[in-house]
Amino acid sequence: MASRVLSNQKRHDSPAWRQAMTVRLDYNAMMAATVGKPSGLAVQDLNGLAGKLAAAHRQIVERTGPGADFLGFLDLPYQDDTALDRIVATADRLAKLGDRHVVLGIGGSYLGARAVLDALGDPLHNERGRLARNGRPRLYFEGNNLDPDSMRALMDFLPAGRPAEAEAGFTVNVISKSGTTLETAVAFRILRQRLAQAYGDRYSERIVATTDARRGLLKEQADREGFETFVIPDDVGGRFSVLTPVGLLPAAIAGIDIKELVAGARSMAERCKSTDFLSNPAYLYAALQHLSEERGRNIWVMVAWGKALEGLAMWYDQLSAESLGKAGRGRIPLASVNTRDLHSRGQELQQGPRSVVVTNLCVDRYAPDHPMLWDAGDPDGLNYAAGKTMGQMLAGARQAVTFAYSRDQRPSMTLHLPELNAYTLGQVFYLFELATLVEGYMAGINPLDQPGVEDYKKFMFGLLGRTDMAQWKREFEKAPTTDPAFVL
């Protein structure tokens, strides 16, 4: 996969390079010295959280906090290279079997992988020839919505019979711990039947199932039909699973260096061992958000400065919403892209209710980044910006917006990625995962469960005819009937 990474930038073991690639959190625009009182925070406000942070730290280190059975994500930065080598080998095998690869998953089984590919891949990957893609297949995501139009278009695109050439073939990676997630299971049945139609009794070699180690319908089906499997660890929840095969296998299929992703996460994990929370990026981020929510700023907007980071903002949207939105509290997360959304949401953020905290995601250096050329006639009046690159223009817009917010006492902070590569992205994943855990513990909730997600499913399965959910169908049928007077 063609990459956004700087020229010939592969894996670097140089300590100097690693240091230069350190992700930094700039929270000046959260502080009273920049945005004034009462909107801004003071250092003593942060220090006042020392007790809560120390308690959260003990719960994490001792693994005694709510949901401690799902703290396995803390260990993922230290996973063995052998496991990563197997993922790469399988990715290479699938890449040789066909030029179309479909990833099936929803929620945490989808958003992490999508964030990686959006950030590190070529935006026009699927439009380029196989040679330009370094032999990596085109990638498609399905099973993340009940969408008839999207599924129809994909099925029209995939071969119904055995392709004459291997490159015209397709493969599938289905991701589900239980195998019962409706959106993914429906899509998998449809695609598995198409594979069997195209490849006969050899269809199973084109399927990889990422699922539970021992139980569940998908695991049983994989064992019965002979799919290769990867394990979603028992102690890792879906939205924390990007550094498991859930996120790493799709990334490897795209040709992304997954060892660098893990190395980046490991470097952040080491930084976050500090008990001095002002030196611990994850604890500091959690503290800033906790204080903001306590002061009535209960809407969080993560602004991706560049389309490549939109998937990352959406990934964190789910991480935050499912982890912190419970017990009648929690920040409302929103994802945005600038400068695109300055022409829509920008109005409200600048002059709307003072209930928002903005986190900017930005890349400090792009490559290649060509300058805008001088035009002698200046027909568009843009010669004032001649010689500036688009990256410089983007940085100028971000600095202007941050200043405008600060000038009106609207707090924000900025996470700087020196470059956009696998190493820096791995750091960001771990930072936000740990920060979400800490924020949940400070709020006195379990950030590792999602009981509310299950409420609608009982009624949905009942309405669709699952016999074990018949009682929920009966309850639904007792609901007040629709009054035509209230339907226009």
Instruction: Name the catalytic one among 293, 322, 433, 439.
Output: 322
Residue 487: which residues within 8 A CB-CB, separation 6 or more? Answer: none
Q: Over the stretch 343-354, which tens digit does the pLDDT of each residue have?
A: 999 999 999 999
Is residue 187 one of the residues assigned to a domain? yes
Q: Are residues 324 and 364 in the same domain?
A: yes
Answer whether residue 46 is part of any domain: yes
Same domain, 19 and 114: no
Per residue in 5-53, pLDDT (tens digit) is 543 444 567 899 999 999 999 999 999 999 999 999 999 999 999 999 9
Mark whether 307 is an active-site residue.
no
Instruction: Using the 3D structure, point to which of 215, 240, 256 is the last residue of a domain.
Output: 256
Q: How many whole angstroms separate alpha carbon 398 and alpha carbon 339?
A: 8
- Residue 116 belongs to domain spanning: 79-256
In a domain, 428, yes or no: yes
Boundary residue ending a domain (403, 424, 443): 443
Residue 74 lies in a domain: no
- Among residues 256, 272, 295, the one where a domain terminates is 256
CB atoms within 10 A of CB 397: 14
Assess whether 56 and 88 both reside in one domain.
Answer: no
Q: Return the ∠ at Cα 44 (arms to 42 and 45), rounded to 5°.
A: 65
Whether residue 468 lies inside any domain: the answer is: no
Q: Which of 343, 370, 454, 478 is catalytic?
A: 343
Which token pair is 488? 């226009």
Helix (H) or strand (E) run with residue 189 in it = helix 182-199
Q: pLDDT value at position 461?
A: 81
Residues 429 and 295 in one domain: yes
Q: Tokens 């059975």 label which residue?
A: 69
Strands 412-417 and 24-26: antiparallel
**What torsion, rounded to 10 degrees, do the Cα atoms 94, 99, 104, 108 define?**
80
Query: Is 289 found in the same domain as 197?
Result: no
Which residue is it, tokens 């009981």?
A: 451
Cα four-point dihedral sign 251, 258, 22, 36:
positive
> Within this chain, do residues 266 and 403 fall inside the same structural domain, yes or no?
yes
What is the Cα–Cα distance from 283 to 437, expressed in whole angstroms? 9
Predicted local confidence at residue 452, as pLDDT: 75
Task: Name every residue whose Cβ is closer than 8 Å to that of residue 377 and which is 6 or more positions away in sequence.
Answer: none
| 439 included as an active-site residue | no
Q: What is the mean pLDDT of the chain?
A: 93
State mean pLDDT over 311-321. Answer: 97
- Confidence class for position 92, pLDDT limits 50, 70, 90: very high
266 and 252 assigned to the same domain: no
Cβ pair 250, 102 in contact under 8 A: no
Q: Is residue 475 part of a domain?
A: no
Same domain, 252 and 268: no
**What is residue 167's predicted lDDT score, i.e. its pLDDT?**
75
Give residue 214's pLDDT. 94
- Number of domains, the chain: 2
* CA atoms of 93 and 250, how far apart (whole Å): 13
* More confident call, 68 vs 469: 68
Written as six digits, the tokens of 325 are: 């939105």
Q: Is residue 453 part of a domain?
A: no
- Residue at 88 is within a domain: yes
Q: Is 343 a catalytic residue?
A: yes
pLDDT band at 1 (very low <50, low <70, confident <90, very high): very low
pTM of the model: 0.94
53 and 166 belong to one structural domain: no
Q: What are the tens digits of pLDDT across the range 367-424? A: 888 898 999 998 999 899 899 999 999 999 999 999 999 999 999 999 999 999 999 9
Residues 334 and 437 in one domain: yes
| Catalytic one of 388, 416, 457, 458 | 457
Specify the CATH number for the domain of residue 210.
3.40.50.10490
Please indicate, yes or no, whether residues 135 and 272 belong to a single structural domain of this protein.
Answer: no
Whether 313 and 189 map to the same domain: the answer is no
